[in-house]
Chains A and B, each alone.
Chain A
Amino acid sequence: DVKVTQSSRYLVKRTGEKVFLECVQDMDHENMFWYRQDPGLGLRLIYFSYDVKMKEKGDIPEGYSVSREKKERFSLILESASTNQTSMYLCASSALVNSGGRGNQPQHFGDGTRLSIL
């Protein structure tokens, strides 16, 4: 089974701090994603990556950056945390879209990090 591990389940930080959320997957997946989950809004894509050192903005990238130095690890960075970034953050991974399949590869999720910014 795919294992996606997020470094923290709960995290409390202060406004203005630089925050790192780490995600590691063990299935050699090419694709990795960061979402934030808020009540009534579902999952919104922040950033994604299809390869090492490659990153693409999702729907809500403002205030965030990412790093993918190794295939298995995808980090989300809050450069200067603000209270409106208090949320649940989910990391996901999936196999390459065009690896012979028709693109319906599901995403595999981590347990999530509930981040509170005070």
Chain B
Amino acid sequence: AQTVTQSQPEMSVQEAETVTLSCTYDTSESDYYLFWYKQPPSRQMILVIRQEAYKQQNATENRFSVNFQKAAKSFSLKISDSQLGDAAMYFCAYKLYGQNFVFGPGTRLSVLP
């Protein structure tokens, strides 16, 4: 079974600085999808960014970018110019075509003013 690991239960970053959240996964498949979701305190979980494994180019969404290393099965999220509103739980997720999502345990990010 596929598993997703987020080795950092908690992280903190100074406002305006850059932070990288780690995610590794275990799979024997070659075509799959990876996602980062953000869950702000007491608010709805929303999609931050997604990556298709067949694409070599790393996905980018404004201040959010990923470092996708397929051979290493690594999918880290980089947040540039951190803002107070970035404070949240971040979940990494893996999805195989036609299968359900597999979520990691989450990383709680604090942003310090």
Name A's B-contacting residues (CB within 8 A): 4, 33, 35, 40-45, 48, 58, 90, 97-98, 102-104, 106-107, 109-112
Interface positions of B from 65 to 113, Cβ below 8 Å from A: 91, 95-98, 100-101, 103-106
B61 to chain A, nearest CB (A): 12
- Nearest-CB distance from B103 to chain A (Å)? 4
B44 touches A43 (CB 8 A): no
**A-B CB pair tally, cutoff 8 Å:** 51
Chain B 43-66 per-residue mask, 1 if CB under 8 angstroms from chain A, else 0: 111110010100000000000000
Cα distance A97–B99 when bound, in Å?
9
Whether B47 pairs with A106 at a CB distance below 8 angstroms is yes
Name B's interface SS: strand
Main SS of the interface on chain A?
Answer: loop
**B residues bordering A, Cβ < 8 Å?**
4, 9, 33, 35, 37, 42-47, 50, 52, 91, 95-98, 100-101, 103-106
**B68 CB to nearest chain A CB (Å):** 14
A33 to B45, CA, bound (A): 14
B48 CB, min distance to chain A CBs, angstroms: 10
B105 & A97 in contact (Cβ 8 Å cutoff): no
